[in-house]
Structure 1
Amino acid sequence: MTTILQSFVSGRWIGSQAAQPLHSAINGKEVAFSHAESLDFEEALQYGRTTGLQGMLALDFQQRASALRALAKYLVERKEELYAISAHTGATRVDSWVDIEGGTGTLFAYAGMAASELPSGNLIHEGPVASLGKKNTFAGTHILVPRGGVAVHINAFNFPVWGLLEKFAPTFLAGMPCIGKPATATSYLTEALVRMIDQSGILPKGALQLVIGSTGDLLDRLDVADVVTFTGSADTAAKLRVNPNVVRNSIPFNAEADSLNCAILADDVTPDDEEFDLFVKEVVREMTVKAGQKCTAIRRAIVPRKHLDAVAEKIKARLAKVVVGDPSVEGVKMGALASKSQQSDVAERVAMLRQSAEMVFGGDAHFNLVGEGVVNGAFFQPTLLLCQKPMSTDSIHDIEAFGPVSTLMPYDGMEEAMALAKRGKGSLVGSLMTKTPAVAAQVVPRLAANHGRLHVLDRESAGESTGHGSPLPSLKHGGPGRAGGGEELGGIRAVTHMMQRAAVQGSPTMLTAITREYARGAKVIETGTHPFKRYFEELQIGESLLTATKIIGEEDVKAFGDLTGDMFYMHFDDAAAKASAFGKRIAHGYLVLSDAAGLFVVAEPGPVLANYGLDTLRFVKPVGLGDSIQVRLTCKRKIDRNKKDANGQGQGVVAWDVEVTNQDKELVASYDILTLVAKKG
């Protein structure tokens, strides 16, 4: 019996009456039905803003990172169930790998970045603190906090798993419940994913809801704390963006729209170069992976006119070897489009493109397919077009066939190549194949104005390159203009994109209390016990130690030079040093740091386990021979990463603010030290 899909809203699964039939892209058979029941979107939003928000904010950034990692592991263990369902979308095993394991990989990536970069708690201090007065009693800084609303993620049909997870991960970390709305055509795979997530019990209730079918009046019910993201066609993005309620309440709207991405073969590359073959392989790969149904696929292949025939022949030869059909049949390299309607849409757009472009490969409505029942599937032959006059032809820069279709465009000179790339009016990604760094240095800054990401490919990077069409969690995914102006991925930037930034002004003491990060000038806490002797739980932000003083003399400098081999003239040559801007011999900067450590480090074993980093180091003023130094060591921030060592003892990360001053109370060095500190419990 065919499954009736259900929405997961307000903590329950809804749907028992069949509505729209959803068909297998391989053989046209019914796979599932969307449900006919209407959803109460006001209830769903309120559930997210109350139950969802409460459960999520009961956790901090570090705990949510741990939950993401646990969820990723849970899904990986059950990935074969998703692969089996994914086959109905027309995807090959490789296509499904990009979607399914690309999705879980994104969860792992965000969990790792958050564990390393985000604090404990639910507030991010985006420093530095800026003094706003002469006496440093009034200062300002920026904080990022959860918005207190719900994120609505509207996704396209091409990546039913990754599309949801790549948006959910940073939203979840940001402390924002979300409602996912997949495209109906392949929503049966997203529904299976969300069922797994629900069954895992890993997420707080209300953290993730799912809508199958229409969004109805959902956007009309959003308020100022909510966010909307969209992935899909530029036309649909334009309609959603101007929803009256979204406009009236200035609701953030992030769009990643399909764009006419390009790949440029630079004119320094010849048919005998490795980069020439890399270009051909990249174009063919982007035409055939996911049957070309990628918002990042290469739609415009821009090549030197002198090499046009050679490029065309090599691409044709590779396309001729691509076996199309049922992905379950061994040897099949390309599957179907997601639906019959998508098949019709691609055919219609190819016909439009052919009015100003000639057919190089493809165009056979009865091309050879492999597998049983595939005549009823949504297959489309890989199609390579050629426009001889791309500078004077608008359609090839305006019409996108969202399938295995690309158009060759010859150019004369790199200036024309860059002009053709710009005709796309904004793209998610562009590729440049060149063997000459000087060419890349000339072209990339020009292309960057119109592209969200630029992929420079040569023989050196080819072995590790993830490819033109593969966005990565650590880098921005989005582009200007036609590409929607969005920024969906991009490391921790994607998390902060879902949060509210606010400037905060006040005394350093107040800013320290608000940000949970010591600001210089704030009142310090001196307990009489060395801070290095206190366990992680015992330490307070602002807990401080003022050390004794130490004179740095001639013997110290000589011994340090002998030990390290650093015999720089400023430390040893009186005449040269006097002629310098400093007018005297000075101590090594790293000698100052070493002597500073000698002033504040505790020799005997204690809670401080290791020093694993030093940040924001600045040598502010030179230390002359005979000068003395003193150190103010202050607990700046604490991060509980909920980790234990091999013996089961808990530990956290403590950042210490270090101020090194001279005998005149002038700052000579400033930095942060990062340490692992044991927990008492």
Structure 2
Amino acid sequence: MTSTALSVDIVPSFIRDAWWTPDQHTLSEDNSTEVRDASTGELLALVSTSGLDVADAVQYARTTGQAELGQFTFHQRALKLKALAQFLNGQRDHLYELSARTGATKVDSMVDIDGGIGVLFTFGSKGRRELPNSQVVIDGPAEVLSKDGSFVGEHIYTRIPGAAVQINAFNFPVWGMLEKLAPSFLAGVPTIVKPATPTGYLTAAVVKLIIESNILPAGSLQLISGPARDLLDHLDYRDLVSFTGSATTANKLKSHENVATGGVRFTSETDSLNAAILGEDAVPGTPEFDAFIKSLVTEMTVKAGQKCTSIRRTLVPKTLVNDVVAAARDRIEQRVTLGDPRAEGVTMGALASLGQLRDVRAAVESMIAAGGELAYGTLDSPRVTQADGTVDVVEDGAFMSPVLLTWENADAVELHTVEAFGPVASVVGYDDVAHAVRLAAMGEGSLVATVCTNDPSIARELVLGIAAHHGRVLLLNREDARSSTGHGSPVPHLVHGGPGRAGGGEELGGIRSVLHHMQRTALQGSPNMLTAVTGVWHAGADRNFDEEHPFRKNLATLRIGDAIRSDLRQVTLEDITAFANTTGDKFYAHTNEEAAAANPFFPGIVAHGYLLLSWGAGLFVEPAPGPVLANYGLENLRFITPVAAGDSIRVTLTAKRITPREDEEYGEVSWDAVLTNQDDEIVATYDVLTLVEK
């Protein structure tokens, strides 16, 4: 077998760290599927899983995959994602060539391929910045459960012990896989990918590159190219299924016994009748109207409208319906060239397959039968630009012209329930903002909506009205029209998903999506036991007050619980007055005895909180050059007990969390700092953050 999926007769699977194809002598029309070029109809490959042992793949993920990934911390996994992104970044030309055969233009391929690689980069970065360099995530502060502090509780996240199974759609064969692989890998959970058949050969090509990079550990990624109807039979409560596709298929999978009663975690992203709402202020001639039309046409034509986030319902003031249709028509005719993506100048390619073309045409026909009127476009086979530059009808190509529908009845059921998964959108008039909110909600749950207005009051009313029905809302106006990533572009930092018809799940969202692959557990015990489990020092746990100052220790010798307790330092009225005069902070509590005494929180003049922090640093710092390179901040600062003239303070500093950087010669240390007065009352608590040599 050669290095690309296109040069073989059968799209391979990757199981138990080896490439697998069925015995070609046993293949037939009953157990294989033809895959064809979306633009020309050329036969590319066969897809079959006849004879593949799905149970073996699941078991390999739970054993080898889990064991291999379990050797690494979050930071180590994040660095592997970064390395993988860098590797794939150098292979894009090859992937673009394959992507063109799916009907994707260069822009479409960029969204899919570069977008997927960008997700890897993002999680490679966020994993190191937002997760500890360990294998446990603490969720929230500890809760003291006993009067003496000997019994505490908190929540932790640990990875689920099974496999993350991806069942992906045909429209994003690269991004669809990588946006799910990145968070599951970062969590430490092995992935089994099941791509859709029409474009799965591109997914297989990416997997082949990933395997050739030798970056990911054994068992962390497997690929099933073709049907896997018994896949859910082999899953249980340890596993997670992430599905993208039709609501019909999602409902069938959710009714499987192992999901319904067996505890398999199931999340889905399905049909979505996404809306774009034009504000009453956004009339022709405004920047908002122009941005709205650009967004509508972009969403209709990028990936030939085959995006779960595409605009399906365009809600505009009734008086502007004709203006919107005319402006969209003009932009399509001026900027959209339909044809083979390999031809110069083509801006919109084919649908993924002839089967998909039939489905989209049937959906549009049903909408027309229900009252939709064809305002632009045709359902006939269009003339298209072919790879050689000629223009003609291509019967074997899955081409469809952009289609705009209008509706006399804005409440027509089919308008809000039928999704034509192609270059199709409806333009619907609304009476007022409340009517627009009601129409948007009739989609019964959507992935995304756009609100296009420059009026803050309209924006607020629309967003508060539709937010609970949507997973994401884009506020589009003249200020962000150029910088916005657009209506249909999920970003890895924010959640991708939606309620109701959209599937009710969430993907992406930064570290949130990592936690989807982990189990949150309430942990109860003594401070020492919680410290041992989490690797983070808890108040009440043992401290180590040895003779060596903890600031003299590098990361090789510093241990959680290493601490220093300073001597007392008395605060005088002269100190408080000098600090007020030097800093300019002459707030009355520090300068006016009568006013300070009248305040219910103070006994009279009290020391500035920042004076106490400064003195605290002076009490714990080790001044000579050493392993501590820099102080880079404070966290969780709280002032609790005021300090009056004549009082004294001391500081207790404890190594709370140690985070070595995998790719640097230093790491971060978080120190628990507690200021107390002469009566051992707590004056202030905070975390000191330092950079320390390894």
User: TM-score w.r.t. structure 1 length?
Assistant: 0.97
Asked if structure 1 preserves the Cα contact closer than 8 Å seen for 2:381 and 2:400, the reply is: no
Q: What is the Cα deviation at residue 606 of structure 1? A: 0.7
Question: Which AA in structure 2 matches 1:409?
Answer: V
Contact 1:62 1:640 in 2 (8 A): no
In the other structure, the counterpart of 1:199 is 212
**How far apart are the structure 2 equivalents of 1:334 and 1:565?**
64
Give yes or no for the alignment of 1:325 onto 2:339: yes
Equivalent position of 1:186 in the other structure: 199
In 1, Cα distance between equivalents of 2:308 and 2:262: 29
1:614 maps to 2:627: no
**How far has the Cα of 1:565 moved from its partner?**
2.3
Paired residue for 2:408? 388
**In structure 1, distance between residues paired with 2:531 and 2:8:** 59
- 1:410 shift after superposition: 0.4
**Aligned-pair CA distance for 1:364:** 4.6
CA–CA separation in structure 2 for the residues paired with 1:594 and 1:258: 58
| 1:596 and 2:602 matched | no
1:304 aligned residue (311, 314, 317): 317
Letter in 2 for 1:358: E
Partner of 1:93: 106
Amino acid at match of 2:368: R
- Alpha-carbon offset, residue 639 of structure 1: 1.3
Distance 1:336 1:248, change over 3 A: same
Aligned residue in 2 for 1:453: 472
Aligned counterpart for 2:277 among listed residues 251, 264, 283: 264
**TM-fit CA distance, 1:349:** 0.1
Alpha carbons 2:49, 2:224 under 8 Å: kept: no
Contact 1:5-1:32 at 8 Å conserved across structures: yes
Distance 1:472 1:600, change over 3 A: same
Q: Which amino acid aligns with 2:427?
A: L
**2:483 is equivalent to residue 464 of structure 1:** yes
Where does residue 301 of structure 2 map in the other structure?
288
The AA in structure 2 aligned to 1:410 is: G
Equivalent residue for 1:67? 80
- 8 Å CA contact 2:69, 2:190 repeated in 1: yes
Q: What secondary structure is seen at the aligned counterpart in 1 of 2:507?
A: coil
SS in 1 for 2:586: coil
Check whether the contact 1:655–1:673 (CA below 8 A) recurs between aligned residues: yes
Alignment of 1:13 onto 2:19 = yes
Provide the residue aligned with 2:522 in structure 1. Answer: 503
Whole-Å separation in 1 of the counterparts to 2:273 and 2:49: 36
The alpha-carbon deviation at position 3 of structure 1 amounts to 3.3
> Does residue 480 of structure 1 match 2:499?
yes
Alignment of 1:631 onto 2:637: no
Distance in 1 separating the partners of 2:555 and 2:449 = 48
Q: Partner letter of residue 520 of structure 2?
A: R
Find the counterpart in structure 1 of residue 365 from structure 2.
Answer: 351
1:154 correspondence with 2:170: no
Say which of 367, 376, 379 aligns to 2:382. 367
Matched AA of 2:559: Q
> 1:507: how far off?
0.9
Equivalent residue for 2:4?
A: none
SS of alignment partner, residue 109 of structure 2: helix
Return the offset for 1:333: 1.0
How far, CA to CA, are the matches of 2:215 and 2:546 in structure 1?
41
> What displacement does 1:548 show?
1.4
CA shift for structure 1 position 244: 0.9
- 8 A contact 1:258–1:296 mirrored in 2: no
For residue 563 of structure 1, report the CA deviation from its aligned partner: 3.1
The structural deviation recorded for 1:233 is: 1.0
Aligned to 1:652: 667
Query: Unaligned 5+ residue runs, structure 2?
Result: 1-6
2:605 alignment partner, one of 576, 580, 585: 585
Match of 1:642 in 2: 662
In structure 1, runs of 5+ residues without a counterpart are 645-649
The Cα offsets for residues 400-437 of structure 1, whole Å up to 9 and x where unpaired, read as: 00001000110001000000000000001111001012
Letter in 2 for 1:509: N
Q: Which moved more, 1:65-74 or 1:626-635?
A: 626-635
Write the mapping of 1:105-144 to structure 2, written as runs, cut at 5 A.
105-144=118-157
Which residue does the alignment assign to 1:647?
none
**Displacement of 1:2:** 5.1
Rounded Cα–Cα distance in structure 2 between residues aligned with 1:65 and 1:24: 36
Q: 1:595 deviation in Å?
A: 1.1
Q: How does 1:34-45 map to 2 (within 5 A)?
A: 34-45=47-58
Amino acid at match of 1:363: T
State the shift of 1:492 in Å: 0.5
Query: Shift in Å at residue 350 of structure 1?
Result: 0.3
| Alignment partners' CA distance in 1, 2:215 and 2:261 | 36
Which residue identity is paired with 1:204?
A: P
The corresponding residue for 2:62 is: 49
Matched residues, number? 673
Q: Cα distance, 1:390 vs. partner?
A: 0.9
Distance 2:381 2:417 in 1: 28
Q: Deviations over 1:370-407 (max 9, x none)?
A: 1148442111110010112213x111000000001000
Is the CA contact (8 Å cut-off) linking 1:390 and 1:409 kept in structure 2?
yes
TM-score (norm 2): 0.95
Amino acid at match of 1:249: G
The answer to whether the 8 A contact 2:49-2:227 is kept is no
| Alpha-carbon distance in 1 for matches of 2:76, 2:251 | 37
Distance, in Å, in 2 between the alignment partners of 1:328 and 1:613 is 53
SS of equivalent residue, structure 1 residue 643? coil
1:36 Cα deviation (Å)?
4.9
Aligned partner letter, 1:301: T
Alpha carbons 2:381, 2:395 under 8 Å: kept: no
Aligned AA for 2:355? S
Corresponding residue for 2:566?
Answer: 547
* TM-aligned CA distance change 1:564 to 1:463, over 3 Å: farther
Q: Assess, with a 3 A threshold, how the Cα gap between structure 1 residues 180 and 561 changes in structure 2: closer, same or farther.
A: same
Greater Cα offset, 555-564 or 605-614: 555-564
Shift of 1:614: 1.6
**2:48–2:227 CA contact under 8 A, matched in 1:** no
Matched, 1:401 2:420: yes
> What is the CA distance between 1:256 and its match in structure 2?
0.9
* TM-superposition CA deviations, 1:500-528 (whole Å, max 9, x none): 11101111111111111111111212222
What amino acid sits opposite 1:390 in the alignment? A
Whether contact under 8 Å (1:643, 1:652) holds in the other structure is no
CA distance in 2, matches of 1:42, 1:640: 39
2:357 aligned counterpart, secondary structure: helix
87-96 or 634-643: bigger deviation: 634-643
Question: Does the residue aligned with 2:341 lie in a helix, a strand or coil?
Answer: coil
The alpha carbon displacement at 1:92 in A equals 0.6
Q: Deviation per CA, 1:210-252: give whole Å up to 9, x if none.
A: 0001113111111221110001111111111111122221111
CA deviation after TM superposition for structure 1 residue 37, in Å: 3.0
**Given the alignment of the two structures, is residue 556 of structure 1 paired with residue 570 of structure 2, yes or no?**
no
After TM superposition, give the deviation of residue 569 of structure 1 in Å. 2.1
Query: Are the equivalent residues in 2 in contact too, given 1:569–1:576 (CA < 8 A)?
Result: yes
| Matched position secondary structure for 1:160 | coil
For the 8 Å contact 1:578–1:584, the answer to whether it is kept is yes
1:448 is displaced (CA, Å) by 1.2
- Choose from 409, 414, 438 the match for 2:457: 438
How far residue 38 of structure 1 moved from its aligned partner, in angstroms, is 2.2
Corresponding position: 1:246 with 2:259: yes
Match of 2:3 in 1: none
Deviation at 1:643, TM superposition (A): 2.3
Closer, same or farther in 2 for the Cα pair 1:139/1:401, shift >3 Å? Answer: same
Q: Distance in 2 between matches of 1:497 and 1:537?
A: 33
- Taking the aligned partners of 1:451 and 1:258, their CA distance within structure 2 comes to 13
